[in-house]
Structure 1
Amino acid sequence: MSPAANGSNGSNGHGVAVPTPKPLDLVGKTAIVTGSARGIGAACALELGQRGANVVVNYTSAKSKGPADKIASQITSNGTGAKAITVQADVVANEGQQALVDAALSLSSSKSINILVHNAGHGDDCYLTDVTEDFYRIQTDINMKAPIFLTQKALPHMPRSSRIVLISSCSARMGVPQQTVYAASKAATEAFARVWATELGQSRGITVNCVNPGPVATDMYYASSQEFLDELKPLVDSTPAEGRVGEVGDVAPIVGFLCSEESRWVTGSTVSANGGLLFH
């Protein structure tokens, strides 16, 4: 199990709450957050909703419908006037990508998509000698192919000052054994941010950034083997900011900032939301 698996519940359950008051700086904006029924994605959806954005909450499997509905309900009842819709869609599939775009346009009074957060991801571990083509395909499809083609479909509807944020992982830089495919695919998202910032900046007025979490306390994290958690503990304990695993609430506000007007001069960047692990 990879250290920053993206699609799981936070340690306090799928009803992730961000306690600090939020500026209502995204009122009238519409956002798509992929993989947003649980974990980091759910926290990002709630963060954007608390700032006033309308949010498309995306989930894949039927078992995630309940958590996705609860996230959408929290957004619509947060007092900001934000709207939310849940969409069951496979972000790898062409029809799933189009369903997310169509849902966002249905939420937007201006028929625009202002924010696109690529959170959905897949992480699994395998030694190089055991990597198969199927193992490679599954991870690269969702971690690389999906962001490329969903962005391609959303772009015609993204006005100037729109925001694209990709969720990477500290695994992209740490050289963790068994992560040939996962680490490479997450490093790719950082490359996407740099390339797309150049392509979409002056021409379209869109900023593109990447957020790089370390280990985050999600259900997927705690579902890892005890051997994995024991191996990771020294790294977690050595985190410079504080000797603990990260929380989804440590990551989502950074995404919120990168989607705000205040981040207009930040693009092509990778923000390390990992307590300083990469500097230790």
Structure 2
Amino acid sequence: MTDTPIPPPQNLCGKTAIVTGSSRGIGAGIAVGLARRGASVIINYVSPKSKGTAEGVLQSIRNNGGSALLIQADISSIEGIQHLVEESVKFSLSKKIDIVVHNAAFGDDCYLEDITPEFYYKQTNTNLKGPIFLTQAILPHLPSHGGRIVLVSSISARMAFASQTVYAATKAGCEALCRCWAAALGKKYGATVNCVNPGPVATEMYWESDPEFLKSMESIIDATPAAPRVGEVADIVPLVAFLCSEESHWTTGSVLNANGGMLLI
């Protein structure tokens, strides 16, 4: 007899969640995971070339009886953020945004000698400007209690990778935003703010990394305390879902490591 998978708890029913960069990879997994727990999910993608994969995420949610909306919006621009928030509020039955997961990120590798202003702004506009101004824009639409903001960081925020000057700085910045916002938004808005710090996860973004970086990761992956492997999207989703739920109400300003203990190496 085979074991029947235990369905996730329906602890997000009635909630509306924005998941940025959710057409593929970790973001897609988070969108599906929150929908399985009862949330109505906004699937966000940037470019027309991502529309097909985003529609696949939408269909997956609807096939399982969930509620979701597809919104093309570039969170690196103020106009894109405004469009995302306006359409999300229209979609929400309560006209509130209960959950925001800041997952969208550019993670291209570049050595210090080769960084251009264009490269710098491409990453910082999405990885830092986007979360800052999207969070600002949703503040009037948070519920009076129980709002949840989650930022997706990276082990790059705390480990030394020579080709990740800008990316590492933006991810360290996300962890700083988490602490600042937890202090600022708790009493005033009744919201918690937390961060999830994944290690390498088997997504397209990871496998598209610089070959030298991938080579440098092999010994680190082999030494990972939990298991000698790359992480999976399924390793990350339940932790994000927990931080989005009422069960996490006494957790704020925290960084939850989802990297198999890699930062202990």
TM-score norm. by structure 1 comes to 0.90
Please state if 1:253 is matched with 2:243.
Answer: no
Alpha-carbon distance in structure 1 between the residues aligned to 2:210 and 2:256: 29
What are the within-5 Å matches in structure 2 for residues 231-270 of structure 1?
Answer: 231-270=216-255
Please state if 1:223 is matched with 2:184.
Answer: no
Alpha-carbon distance in structure 2 between the residues aligned to 1:119 and 1:85: 17
- Residues 83, 107 of structure 1: 8 Å contact kept: no
Question: Deviations 1:140-177 (Å, cap 9, x if unpaired)?
Answer: 11110000001111110001211000001000000111
Amino acid at match of 1:190: E
Please state if 1:35 is matched with 2:35.
Answer: no
Alpha-carbon distance in structure 1 between the residues aligned to 2:237 and 2:109: 25
Over 3 Å counting, the alpha-carbon distance change for 1:20 and 1:134 in structure 2 is farther
The residue aligned with 1:61 is 47
* 1:76 CA drift (Å): 2.1
Question: Deviations 1:46-101 (Å, cap 9, x if unpaired)?
Answer: 0100000000000111111111111112212223xx31111111011112111211
Question: Deviations 1:116-153 (Å, cap 9, x if unpaired)?
Answer: 00000011222222222212111111110000001111
**Which deviates more from structure 2 when the two are superposed, residues 268-277 or residues 126-135?**
126-135
What are the within-5 Å matches in structure 2 for residues 1-280 of structure 1?
Answer: 20-79=6-65, 82-159=66-143, 160-280=145-265
Amino acid at match of 1:68: A
Amino acid at match of 2:249: R
* 1:226 CA drift (Å): 4.1
The alignment's C-alpha RMSD in Å is 1.2
- Residues 225, 260 of structure 2: 8 Å contact kept: yes
* 1:229 CA drift (Å): 2.4
- Residues 109, 209 of structure 2: 8 Å contact kept: no
TM-score norm. by structure 2 comes to 0.95
Structure 2, unaligned stretches of length 5 or more?
A: none
Alpha-carbon distance in structure 2 between the residues aligned to 1:177 and 1:223: 17
* 1:190 CA drift (Å): 0.3
Q: Percent identity?
A: 57
* 1:218 CA drift (Å): 0.5
Looking at both structures, which has the greater relative contact order when contacts are Cα pairs under 8 Å and sequence separation is at least 6?
Answer: 1
Alpha-carbon distance in structure 1 between the residues aligned to 2:264 and 2:238: 21
Q: How many residues align?
A: 260
Alpha-carbon distance in structure 1 between the residues aligned to 2:139 and 2:31: 20
* 1:20 CA drift (Å): 4.7
Amino acid at match of 1:122: F
Amino acid at match of 2:91: L
Structure 1, unaligned stretches of length 5 or more?
A: 1-18
- Residues 215, 245 of structure 1: 8 Å contact kept: yes
Alpha-carbon distance in structure 2 between the residues aligned to 1:23 and 1:138: 38
SS at match of 2:158: helix
